[in-house]
Amino acid sequence: MIFVALVWFLMGFICYKIAARKGFSKAIWTLLGVLFGVFTVIIMLLMPDKNGQ
pTM score of the predicted model:
0.86
DSSP 17-40: HHHHHHT--HHHHHHHHHHHTHHH
Rg over alpha carbons for the chain, rounded to the nearest Å, is 11
pLDDT in tens, the chain (53 residues): 899 999 999 999 999 999 999 999 999 999 999 999 999 999 999 999 987 76
Q: What is the pLDDT of residue 53?
A: 60
Q: What is the pLDDT of residue 50?
A: 86
